[in-house]
Amino acid sequence: MKPFAILTNRKRAIIALVHSVFFLGVAGVQLAVSHATALSVQGERKVSGTIQLAIYVIVTTSLLVLLAVSHCAREKLYFAFCAASACFGLVRILLGDPVLHANILRVLLLGGAVVTGTIILCEHSEFRLR
């Protein structure tokens, strides 16, 4: 098995898992209360929409780079879940999602990231589950 390239120790695995759990919560709240409309350069929400778009582009690009740099299968799977979730968030900002299909997928993908991150954390922990 190839060694980890990014999540090389317990501290990094914890930080990654905390991020995944936090963004799973954000996606869950958005799923419960938000019906996204497509980004428009006209209207009252153009500044906030543009900021959200920029954030999603940066996050998606960063996660795709981390996916490309990662070595072992578990690490690649973790970053693939995260990158796919960010990509669906980007699509949701651009096209809107009045019936929340993209947000349901984001929640499922981030749930997969949390499970995978937990497995990675257990591999780095002193007390492994058997």
What is the three-state SS of 50-71? HHHHHHHHHHHHHHHHHHHHCC
Domain ranges of the chain: 10-36+55-124
d(CA 14, CA 117): 8
pLDDT at site 83: 96
Say how many C-beta atoms besides its own lie within 10 A of residue 126's C-beta.
5
pLDDT, block means (10 residues), the chain with 130 residues: 85 95 91 71 72 91 96 95 92 75 88 96 73
pLDDT at site 1: 56
pLDDT at site 15: 96
pLDDT at site 3: 85
Contacts 24+ apart (CB under 8 A), 44-48: none
Q: Is 14 exposed, middle or buried (0-12, 13-18, 19+ CB in 10 A)?
A: middle
pLDDT at site 103: 82
How many residues belong to the chain?
A: 130
pLDDT at site 85: 94
pLDDT at site 36: 67
**pTM score, whole prediction:** 0.86
